[in-house]
Amino acid sequence: MPAIIALHKVQKSYQDFPVLDIARLELSPGIYWLQGENGAGKTTCMKVMAGLIPFKGEIVLQGNVSSRQHPVQFRRLINYAEAEPLYPSFLTGRDLLELYLGTKGGDREHIRQLVERLGVKGYLHNPVSTYSSGMLKKLSLLLAFTGNPILILLDEPLITIDTQALAVLYDLIREYSAKGVTFCITSHQPLDQRELPLSGTLRVADKNITLV
């Protein structure tokens, strides 16, 4: 079975300062905890994997979708939720949700249920400038579950959301994982292994990522 994601000679520098230099990394389906100190390169690694920032090398999904040769299909299969999401102040949650549904696809009825479960419905029509950090975080998590991804990258998903939303998030990760979706989660807080059965831990250090 091909790896869900394979990184080949991935290098990333900010100006002349190298941040990542990963010779090879392959992940099988599962739930992974991406660990590392502040500034180790966790967020950069996620942004590289999500196709948000340019890098050298290649990332291949499911053995045949290349970040270089199939950039559109690549982005359809990976979703990413930022640690501190930032959107234009005048956009509403609905604007963003419709944009994601229109480009990433997905089942509208299922998303409508997610909206209710995450408690986003009450403010979906308001501009994001009126959202608290927790509300904004829930919206970005909702967007990360939109479409038909095979890999979802969650950057610090546990911060700022309330306990009720946290329980829903754990449920969603388990449900999606059971359907074959792989998760890569960064968190400085320990992940509850009773809630999330981890497949492995990825450690970011010395510009490299190793599967522990």
Site residues (CB under 8 A) for another protein?
Answer: 14-15, 50-54, 71-76, 78-80, 82, 85-92, 94-95, 98-100, 103-104, 125-127, 129-130
Nearer to another protein, 40 or 128 (CB): 128
Nearer to another protein, 101 or 196 (CB): 101
Nearer to another protein, 72 or 212 (CB): 72
Question: At 38, is the secondary structure helix, strand, or coil?
Answer: coil
Neighbours of 26 (CB within 10 A): 14
Beta bridge partners of 27: 5
Beta bridge partners of 56: 11
Neighbours of 3 (CB within 10 A): 16
191 close to 166: Cβ distance less than 8 angstroms: no
Q: At what angle do helices 133-144 and 93-104 cross, to 10 degrees?
A: 10
Q: Could you tell me the smallest distance in angstroms from the CB atom of residue 171 to another protein?
A: 25
Q: Could you tell me the smallest distance in angstroms from the CB atom of residue 75 to another protein?
A: 4
Nearer to another protein, 89 or 210 (CB): 89
Q: Could you tell me the smallest distance in angstroms from the CB atom of residue 136 to another protein?
A: 12
Distance, in Å, from the CA atom of 192 to the CA atom of 50, rounded to the nearest integer, reads 25
Q: Could you tell me the smallest distance in angstroms from the CB atom of residue 133 to another protein?
A: 15
